[in-house]
Structure 1
Amino acid sequence: MRFVPGTIALLSVLLVGYLYSSTVDTARSLSPQGCRMSYMYPSYVLQSEFDVTWTPLAKRYSLWLYREVDGHGQGWEATHVSNGVPVLFIPGNAGSSRQVRSIASSAVRQYYDAPHSVAAEFKTRAAHLKPLDFFAVEFNEDLSAFHGPTLEAQTAYTARAIAYILSLYPSGTSVIVLGHSMGGIVATALLSDSDIGTKIAAILTMSTPHTLPPARFDARVDALYARNAGVLHSDRTPIVSLCGGATDMMIPSEACVLPLPALAHAELPFRRTVFSSALEGAWTGVGHQEMVWCHQVRWRVARAALELGAADTPAGRGLVLDRWLRDGHALPRPLPLPDAHDATALGPPERLPAEMHLVLRQPRGARTYLLPLPAANTNTSAKFVLLVAQGSIGPVGPQKAPPLKVEVFKCGGLGVDEVRCSALEPDVLKLMPSPVLGRPFPIPKEGSDESEGIVLFEAHVPLGGTAKWVGVRMEGGEGAGWITGGFVGDEPFTSSVGTLQLLLGRVSVPLADLGALRASFEFPNLVSNTLVVYRLTPHHRISEKPCADPLLAPLLVHTSHPSETHYFPLTVLPTHRILLHTHAAAPHIRSQNTVPPGLRFIVYSSGSLGCKSDLVGFALSIDWPATLGRWASRYFTVLPTWAIGVVAVILFQAWGSEVNRPTPIPTVPESLASFTGKPLRRLLLCSVALSVVPLPENFYLGNRGEPLFFAIAPLLLLISTGFVCLSWWVLQALIWPLGRLGRTGFRRRREETSVLRSTVISMGLIFLLIFLFVPWQVAFLGFWIIHLYNCAASQVHTAHIASIPDTVAIPLLRREGETTADEPRRPARPPAHIGNNHNHSMHLLLLMTWLLPLAAPVLVVWVRTLAVAGLTTPFDGDHFFLSAAPFLVLVDFASWTNGPLFERQSFERIFPVRWAFAGLAAAAFLVGSRKAYFVFDVAKVAVGLAVFIKIGPRYWGRRSWSPA
């Protein structure tokens, strides 16, 4: 069985390598990025007057004002700030104030067309629209995602920064807040301040994990998130969350979705989540860092901020945000509908034959077309679809408004000359992309051209009433673009295929002639979860006369979430994968039931133009590389916590040898070999069983018992076990040189009379250092290093003792005058507890090693803060010295004791202390993936119980041990 740990370790390394490559590939294939680069000429003005008189944190952080300049260093705007609208940018984890430059530059160059010259678009509105003054806080790239006190310090500094900024403006001025990544968490936390929250006009967050912290190693981060959840449900300030989707590899994008407000009345606070793949005019996935400079996103954020300056109510600000940051799922409000009119106003309307689609290439002039309603049979309404390229329908169209304008009416009348029409209100009205045939979508580093976008209009028209036609009125046609529309079937193609069938292989879905404008597909039995990715492969017929130059080639629209839409051209390159995924349901996220279960998508095309579409069907399957990449990106924090669970089970087994004395404590390799046998097989079976139990989202893997994901838990358990085995070899590699250096004997002994005094002094100094300066995690790292050194010494000592031969010396004949003192003596066998102590120490070293990853984030934050800010401010939090006390006593006692390291107490026959490590294992497996910090807390309790019960009396000198 000795080869089994090595095999599992090698398998784990190979699995992690494959999962890593799958995760990296996910960012490229699942939601490709097509961001255009943004350019600017930045300059920054330090706000030196915002000093320690405002906040002590001014020694640690700073505040800057952005100013755009030209190529010669001349400014585009005035140096004073009293006439503009203040905007504050808050960077995120390891972010910089310089990240404000892309959005700030776009705002300047939209408002001005030349230095100090207001653009014509804004000149007529100059009385209401003012230029923006972009401020940015500099946090010196603090690692705020890992440390709650750092987030709280940033919030406190930002609150004072807002107070300072508003002091530069007239009374009553409010500030617009932009937050990137964890900066959005800071921005939301500001709303809980009654003085500052009321002075924030709106909050725009970018790639901010609102519902789930990206690093779950600090309970204070969870506490801050809990406070923010209350703010998000109740505060009136409008908030928009922009999410990059699957392209964002820094945060799980389902955590970027704002929770729905809890209020159930008309006065709901404005909350919007917009995925960049659905953002009108963007239509691309956006990476975490790219969110602040992606041109298709940054100019819309800048324009929304400009327009917010003219809105003075929460409702008005909500309308502005809906106008400039639309995802197409909600109709624009207010939606200006055309008034009722005489259809003959533009000349005699053209009536199309029944069941014929309207198709206009390069429309010119102005005209009205009437499409007759279908005959009323069993249906009470008919679905009308209209597509307009390089034009607009009402307020929806490309940003640079083309001259082609289209209006849609429902019409009735008695004769040709008596046709009266009234506005037809749409169910769907949005701008869709028009992918370039033969090129990937979105085009890398270019994206899609918004001016080529297509306006989609869908509406249900009641049948059996006075309406007889749907009227389509066009004006301003100059020969660019096209218009096509007509009535389509409203019944979706529904398939009963289930997830189990896809596990066994792919399923083919044949299509009839795709000549209609719209065809919808539903697979209600498929699982819709962020942990599964489906692959769609279109099938095309080989035709001698293919459709040439279609207006709109088949375009698949997958709306997986009310805020997330992806567009896939079905005439794609052979190497391109069409991957359908969602962020609607995800691990550890409470489902809001915003979408029906299953997989649904719609295929749009320009309709029949005298030839049949060459799309004859598609195949649907599970894309396992992308799916495994999703598993890895959601559960990477599980590995250290479950590894702690594995070590805890190993400790539980090793300490079980005390029950049947005098069985010695096994070595770590023996424990690993024993664990990878029957115990591991039992744990694997238990992990599968727990995977199908509908536990709440905060427990276990947070997938609420979905059977499809039963394999995730045993896979993670196997990898965690392999990494525990691998870590043991790494420790052995570290111990070997330390042991060589310490052969001269460096184990120390204490006189019993000095134990109490020396212990009190040394522990008091260490605790004082923790209380005043270093976080206890730093002390824990020190204890681990000392224990590693002691284990190396113990290994050398134990090996030396074991090398003494077990022989009996034969006494020599005494000569006259010799004494018995000269007679050789029989070597004494070493006490059994020496080997046991070493094995105990090595097991505990393995446990402390896997606790290090849970303490490492605070260690990194402390070192980073010390390197950047120095001793300007104390390091907040993490100074509870009792957290380090169990490990201090354990490491210290193991370094000098002459007796057994742990002594079994009589009451342990009823409740052995080793069951504390069983509790640690349970905590690691059940809540470790959601609350890693809780696992460390349980580990401190388990080690503390062992120290208090098995070591305590002897450590303080009240009772010494002597060999029997």
Structure 2
Amino acid sequence: MKANKKRGIPLFNSPINNYVILFSSAFIGLITLFAIILSFLIPLQGADSPHCKGVYMSPAYAKVYAFDSTHTRFASKYSLYLYREQGKDIMPQNDSDEFILSGTPVLFIPGNARSYKQVRSLAAEAANQYYKDWELTKSLNPNVNSLDFFTADFNEDFTAFHGRTMLDQSEYLNEAVKFILSLYKGNPNIKTYPTSVILIGHSMGGMVARVMLSLPNYKEDSVNTIITLSTPHNTAPTTFDGDLLNVYKLTDDFWRNGFVSSNLENNSKVSEKLTKVSSRRLKNVSLLSITGGTLDTTLPTDYTTLTGLIPKEHGLFVSTTGIPEVWTPIDHLAIVWCDQLRKVLVKTLLQMIDVNSPLQTYPLEKRMQIMENNLNSGFDKATDLLSKQDSPSLPIKLKIDLKQLKDSPNERFFQLPKSLLKRNAINSPPIHLFNIPKGESFKFNFISTLKPIDIQLLNKSPAPSLLLCKSIINSFSSSKSKTYEDIFDYKTEGTNKYAELECTNINNLTYIVPRSYHESKNVLHALELSSKALSSFDSVVLVESAIELDIKKDFVLADLELEQSSNVHIGDQSLWNLMTKNNEVALPAHRPIIVDIDIPAMKSSLLAYKIDVRFKKSNTEKFTPIISQTFKGETKWHLEFDENKPIIAVMNANSPYTPFIVNDPSNHGKFKLFSDSSSSEHLTDIYVSIDWFQSLKLMVLKYRLSIIGFPLFISLAIMVYQFIQYGKTGFYPSYGEGFAALMDYKIFGIVVLIFSFLSLLTSPESPFGKLLEILDPVGRNELKLMSQVEKAKVEVNLMFMSISESALWFYGTFMLFISLGLNFLLYNIVLLFLKVLIIISKHDIWKKIKVPAFDSLSTERKTISIITLLLLVLLYLPYQFAFVVCTLTQIFSTSYAFMKNDSLNAYSTSFISREEKKNDSLKKSNVIENYKNFNLSFTLLMLWLVPISVPVLIVWIHDISLKWRTPFSSHHNILAILPIILLIQIMNQGYMIPRPRGRANLFITKFVLIYFAIYSIIFGTRHLYFLHSFFNALCAWLLILLVQEWGSGNLEKNNINFSKHCSKLQ
């Protein structure tokens, strides 16, 4: 067939400006995407750089063969192992299934596609601390016991992709817990048989642990302590599977109901019986969630928080960057073996053990206190403890000769070492009294290389003692009316003036400050007492030791300053001002040794903040300045910085798609500057700005799932234009022409404007946002229940980009350009693929390859193929498998159509002439052109949807390799794939989708496509699996159009026949 002479006349020829806008926008989008990828690949520095140390162990794994199919139906798929550290733990007897167990049982749950052998690091450290450091361990907890670590082998199952797999693992582990507890009953050497098991879960293993307590086969009181490492508690890490999201919702509701008082209104739609069950099961449960921080590029830090899920009385969230003696971010895999973390975590675990209790742990309140003390930074420990005491205990009495005080009783600053004076009295150590003026707010700061000790232990080391004291007004009556545990008399003979104080030691209120990322023992000891903590006292007393400190390495600094001089604010609450204006503050040379710096506008986790601290080092300073950064339980330490290199602060602030407390007063960046201000002679200037390049890095984890929904919106918008033109004229434009038509400056300008304001419109407080929620048929978590748990108003935004800051309106525009660039890239890759096929088809080599024509298979064989595929889906295959098959079939049929008719119009549509469009009877050449254009657009649409089906398909293939058939109950729904299969098969036979005739058909077509497009961009990120349902509905409607055309007898007019109307392959 000869080429049409009039080919190349574009019917819908867009102005050249549209193509300029298209190529420019695509270029901007791809450059932005490249910059994001580049920023993601550049390693982090400073507080966000890794400093984990390697570990060594001698592992041995004993498989528990007795836990077989008589105990669980999953015995053929999963296995249970007991870990033994060689040379320390008692090893199982050879050729025997019997285990000699006397420790506290601990069950390790591996994460998504991870090995059971990950238990070895924690288990080995537990054996080392218990057997090797027995005396220290015993001194920390007299009721300590050894730990028996069990671990589950899930054959590296994909729990992050499949909800049914998570339920299977949880059910298996509940039976494993029962079996583990039964192993201890035969040991006569155990005084108290354990009735509970401690659970440690890595990644999705932590979520499995939470699901366990909600299942019917859970043994009551068999779990009371759960420790999770990088576990996504707040939201599912992937949204490809509806079952996974449903498991999350039901589990979260179960846990929230367990912590809500019965007198509060419960709107969770959970039955009253279930509420009672959850309350009973969770009343003594503590949960610890540990995140590795920014270095975890697998899971966003924000997903591991417990906001709106577990109250503070039962749950604790900490970051490894703030855990004392850890102070390093840890990636997703290293968090199970990092040496610094495992030492602290095992020490905490051993301190919680109570061998005399059947539960094997201390009561809930004590467990939480141990975790707080060992894992929190301790900044607020002193204020929280002292402010709660209405009448503090003051067991110590001091009698101080005022002549013996080394300095004035109105002392405001103190430092050691300094010039030493001869002491007049041998039995009177130097005492420094910081009087607390009444009527004004003062803050006391202390920092030293030496940890303060009780005054009873004074002079046993160079460390000083710190006490909080009240003056005894009537010393005579007081001495008669009160008995003190200790009385220290520092008066000299014949003295006329002395002070009597009743005091308490406060050395246990200090917290440690790191000086190095690499040496956990190289620390400072700091103490802050706010005006609130000091309100019940008259003075702070510092008592020097008679043993002189090492002036080369040790020092003591203390001051009492007005609280307002210790608190500095930079900027206001406007993020826009922080981004566009200079934000700076100048600290005086002589300032408190610890300064609190608040930056109210610093509350977005989508931005990286640059903090430029400019100062001049002093040769006499005791230590280099240190800055701590705190936000929502996550503390970071910025060490060894200098004035030529700014600090980059990335924080776990309000994050997209996760719950947050509304109007939280602590919801902003807080910093502390530790410095030797006594040695400073210059101002310290602090400048705050945004590091935009590092901010791009943060978009990867927050919006990685948006890589499907946003580009899909562009493809659907193009199809809306194509169908509008198809309905009006009968000609279906090419994908490229539709792309260019959307770039009309009027249309594109409106789209850019909408994307810019969409974040504001989709906020939870927006009336428009509440209206949009009606469009989402997927159920949501109960906000009222979350607020009851948190005792504050909690919101969560699952729409669009979930940005709560109006100043970040341009992020929506960023995503628009990136989506345009991705669509442009995919479209041109497909065009290149087709061009290569066309070139190959013109050569002799193609004659050797037999390519079946559309009509080469009989109708009967095609029908049999369809029925067979549907039966397999109904009985065995997940429908995702059928979708991938359909996609491959669609790619083949589209490629074949372009090879048979080799015209390739990338950004224009070639038809015979404008006049001929008035003819109601379309010529076959136009039908072929329509067919090619539609199939190419439809193929691109399916390519965007394929990634949604692949994860579940991976789970199915993995289970097949294990010879295990996992129940894919929701994935055997043939109605979820039937319209797609039928439509693909009909198009494979050469039928073009008929032109929507009538206003109703055209309206429904546009409505389905527009609804699909809106849903993909508004809700697609958090409900990816539902996009398949929309595509299925679209296919069902296109089938209806085909049936209507068949009913009118015009269907054959929309059928192509290459043998008659196209040139044959030569």
User: 1:228: Cα distance to partner?
Assistant: 2.7
Deviation string, structure 1 residues 355-401 (Cα, Å, up to 9, x no partner): 4312233999994623242544x52x422122232324679x9xxx9
Distance 2:320 2:649 in 1: 16
Q: For the residues of structure 1 that align with 2:719 and 2:1054, how far apart are their CA atoms?
A: 26
* CA deviation profile, 1:434-473 (whole Å, cap 9, x unmatched): 425xxxxx3xxx3x423534232424378898x6532124
Q: Which amino acid aligns with 1:56?
A: R
2:120 counterpart of 1:65: no
Aligned pairs, number: 900
Partner of residue 52, structure 1: 69
Specify the alignment match of 2:672 in structure 1: 602
Name the residue aligned to 1:383. Answer: 443
- The verdict on how the C-alpha distance between 1:873 and 1:548 changes in structure 2, with shifts beyond 3 A counting, is same
After TM superposition, give the deviation of residue 775 of structure 1 in Å.
1.3
Alignment of 1:170-181 (within 5 A): 170=185, 171-181=193-203
| Contact persistence 1:41–1:69 (CA under 8 A) | yes
In 1, distance between residues paired with 2:955 and 2:748? 36
Q: Which residue of 1 aligns with 2:417?
A: 361
SS at match of 2:325: coil
Which residue of the other structure, out of 924, 945, 954, is the alignment partner of 1:860? 954
Cross-structure match for 2:39: 22
Spell out the pairing of 1:234-253 with structure 2 (5 A cutoff).
234=258, 235-236=282-283, 237-253=285-301
Deviation (angstroms), 1:904 = 2.6
1:520 aligned onto 2:596? yes
Please give the alpha-carbon distance, in whole angstroms, between the structure 1 residues aligned to 2:544 and 2:862.
90
Q: How far apart, CA to CA, are the structure 2 residues paired with 1:770 and 1:582?
A: 46
Corresponding residue to 1:666 among 727, 733, 740: 733
Partner SS, residue 493 of structure 1: strand
Letter in 1 for 2:854: R
Cα distance in 1, alignment partners of residues 348 and 904 from structure 2? 77
Describe the superposition over 1:21-66 as per-residue Cα deviations: whole angstroms up to 9, x where unpaired: 2223364456222222222111111112222222222222211111
The aligned counterpart of 1:888 is 981
5 Å-filtered alignment, 1:646-685, equals 646-662=714-730, 664-678=731-745, 679-685=747-753
C-alpha spacing 1:109/1:403, structure 2 compared with 1 (3 Å):
farther
Cα deviation code 1:107-143 (max 9, x no counterpart): 0000012xxxx72234679983221011111122222
Q: 1:589 aligns with which of 628, 634, 658?
A: 658
Which range moved further: 203-212 or 53-62? 53-62
Do 1:191 and 1:198's aligned partners in 2 also have CA atoms closer than 8 Å? no
Counterpart amino acid of residue 894 in structure 2: C
Moved more, 495-504 or 346-355: 346-355
Residue 847 of structure 1 is matched in structure 2 by 941
User: What SS class does the counterpart of residue 92 from structure 1 fall into?
Assistant: coil
**Secondary structure of 1:532 counterpart:** coil
Question: Does the residue aligned with 1:205 lie in a helix, a strand or coil?
Answer: strand
Matched, 1:722 2:811: no
Q: Which amino acid letter does the alignment assign opposite residue 725 of structure 1? A: F
Q: Deviations over 1:619-674 (max 9, x none)?
A: 21111122121123211211211111111111110001133234x11112222222
Question: How far off is 1:850 after superposition?
Answer: 0.6
Q: Which amino acid aligns with 1:104?
A: A
State the match for 2:230 in structure 1: 207
SS of 2:117's equivalent in the other structure is helix
Contact between 1:81 and 1:133, CA under 8 Å: does it hold in 2?
Answer: no
CA distance in 2, matches of 1:215, 1:286: 21
- AA of the residue aligned to 2:721: Q
* Structure 2 Cα separation of the partners of residues 878 and 909 of structure 1: 31
Structure 1 residues 343, 955: CA separation in 2 closer, same or farther (over 3 Å shift)?
farther
For 2:251 and 2:620, how far apart are their aligned partners in 1? 52
Distance in 2 (CA, whole Å) between partners of 1:37 and 1:805 is 68
Secondary structure in 2 matching 1:112? helix
Does residue 931 in structure 1 map to residue 931 in structure 2?
Answer: no
1:434-449 → structure 2 map (5 Å cutoff): 434-436=514-516, 442=517, 446=518, 448-449=519-520
Contact 1:206 1:291 in 2 (8 A): yes
2:116 pairs with 1:97: yes
Q: Determine the structure 1 residue equivalent to 2:853.
A: 747
Residue 540, structure 1, aligned to residue 632, structure 2: no
> Could you tell me which of 505, 511, 522 is aligned with 1:431?
511
Q: Is the 8 A contact 1:654 1:666 kept in 2?
A: yes
What is the TM-score of this pair, normalised by structure 1? 0.86
Please report how far the alpha carbon of residue 750 of structure 1 lies from its aligned counterpart in structure 2 after TM superposition. Answer: 8.4
CA distance in 1, matches of 2:253, 2:404: 57
The answer as to whether partners of 2:711 and 2:820 remain within 8 angstroms in 1 is yes
The structure 1 residue matched to 2:433, chosen from 361, 371, 378, is 371
Residue 175 of structure 1: how far off its partner (Å):
0.5
What is the alpha-carbon distance in structure 2 between the residues aligned to residue 366 and residue 105 of structure 1?
Answer: 49
Give the distance between the partners of 1:463 and 1:792, measured in 2 at CA: 79
Shift of 1:845: 0.7
CA distance in 2, matches of 1:112, 1:366: 44
Structure 2: gaps (5+ residues): 1-15, 94-98, 186-192, 259-281, 355-360, 474-495, 765-795, 914-921, 1056-1066
> SS of the residue aligned with 2:873?
helix
Indicate the residue corresponding to 1:790 in structure 2: 893
**Structure 2 vs 1, CA of residues 158 and 614 (structure 1 numbering), >3 Å: closer, same or farther?**
farther
Q: In the alignment, which residue of structure 1 is the partner of 2:160?
A: 145
Indicate whether 1:951 and 2:1042 are aligned: yes
Tell me, yes or no, if structure 1 residue 229 matches structure 2 residue 252: yes
Q: Is the 8 A contact 1:283 1:433 kept in 2?
A: no
Shift of the alpha carbon at 1:796?
A: 2.4
CA distance, structure 2, for counterparts of residue 464 and residue 144 of structure 1: 53
SS of the residue corresponding to residue 53 of structure 1 reads coil
Q: Amino acid of the residue matched to residue 642 of structure 1?
A: F
Q: Rate the CA distance shift 1:155–1:323 in 2: closer, same or farther, 3 A.
A: same
Cα displacement string for residues 565-608 of structure 1 (whole angstroms, at most 9, x for unaligned residues): 22224x62466431223213111122125543544322222341
For the residues of structure 1 that align with 2:930 and 2:1047, how far apart are their CA atoms? 22
1:905 and 1:762, CA in 2 relative to 1: closer, same or farther beyond 3 A?
farther
CA separation in 1, counterparts of 2:535 and 2:230?
49
Aligned equivalents of 2:31 and 2:328: distance in 1?
33
Mapped contact 2:62–2:83 kept (Cα < 8 A)? yes
Once residues 33 and 424 of structure 1 are traced to their aligned partners in structure 2, the CA distance between those partners, rounded to angstroms, is 37
For 1:485, which of 555, 558, 578 is the aligned residue?
558
Check the 8 A contact 1:355/1:374 in 2, yes or no. no
Alignment partners' CA distance in 2, 1:670 and 1:179: 52
Greater RCO (Cα-Cα under 8 Å, separation 6 or more) = 2
Distance 1:367 1:946 in 2: 93
Match of 2:103 in 1: 84
Q: Distance in 2 between matches of 1:109 and 1:963?
A: 77
Picking from 142, 148, 168, the partner of 2:183 is: 168
Return the offset for 1:282.
1.5
2:526 match: 455
Give the whole-Å Cα distance in 1 for the aligned partners of 2:647 and 2:220: 44
Identity %: 22
Task: State the one-letter code of the partner of 1:134.
Answer: F
Separation (CA, whole Å) in 1 of partners of 2:1017 and 2:335? 35
Cα RMSD over matched residues?
3.6
**Other-structure match for 1:256:** 304
Preserved CA contact (<8 Å) 1:893 1:901 = no
CA change 1:487–1:758 in 2 (3 A) is: same
Whole-Å Cα distance in 1 between the matches of residues 165 and 585 of structure 2? Answer: 53
Query: Is 2:206 the counterpart of 1:131?
Result: no
Compare 455-464 and 876-885 and name the one that shifted more.
455-464
8 Å contact kept, 1:783–1:891: yes
**CA pair 633-641 structure 1, distance change in 2 beyond 3 A:** same
Cα pair distance change 1:96/1:876, threshold 3 Å: farther
Which residue of structure 2 lines up, in the alignment, with residue 772 of structure 1?
A: 875
